[in-house]
Amino acid sequence: MKGLTTLWKAFRTVCIVQLILVAFKGMFSLREIFIQANAGVGIINIIAYALVFIFVYHGLSMLNYNYPDVPLSPKQKRWFNILYLLNFILIAFLFAQIVNCWWMVPFVFDFSNISSNKGAWFYIAAMVLIAWAIFIIHFIFLAGMFKLRRAIYQNTINTWYDQFDQKP
């Protein structure tokens, strides 16, 4: 059994950062249900962020328990495939979140607002940066999950071949 390479350790760190950001946005969406008049948008946000969170958690558990050569169970494969497809659809949702925050960008770069109201400026800047960070990290995560699934498959197949190629 091989240990994790530096690239997979960095991927694990990206997963943890994504879990934190998505959990934060999910809790923020939960708050929106009680504050805004339209609770449907908040519920959709919570469902979308929960699906992203579940997929990232599933990927992190695959990295911890299945990498490098423990084969995936049929249930793990099925969940991976379903969540992988759903998260490609959720890329559109994450992009919509960026577009939704786009009106805030002029306020972030207006430096006169920083001196007048630092709390509001910090809030607006954080919302824009978190939306962009989640979107970019999610692309990195989807590519990493594809490579992880292929690496686990290749290592499992190689282990099986090595097992039968050994002479007594």
| Tens digit of each residue's pLDDT (9 = 90 or more) over 80-133 | 899 889 988 999 999 999 998 888 888 777 777 667 777 777 888 888 999 999
Instruction: Note the Cα 63 to chain centre separation in Å.
Output: 14
pLDDT for residue 1: 43
In whole angstroms, give the CA distance from residue 31 to residue 116.
Answer: 26
| Tens digit of each residue's pLDDT (9 = 90 or more) over 19-68 | 999 999 999 999 888 887 788 888 999 999 999 999 999 999 998 888 87
Helix (H, G, I), strand (E, B) or coil at 86: helix
Helix (H, G, I), strand (E, B) or coil at 73: coil
Least Cα distance to 27 among 55, 44, 46 occurs for 46
* 6-35 helix and 39-65 helix, angle to the nearest 10 degrees: 160
Domain residue limits, the chain: 6-166
Give ∠ CA 89-139-41 in degrees, rounded to 5.
45
Where is pLDDT greater, at 112 or 158? 158
pTM exceeding the 0.75 threshold for the entire prediction: yes
Six-digit token string for 114: 């920083």
Residues above pLDDT 70, as percent of the chain? 96
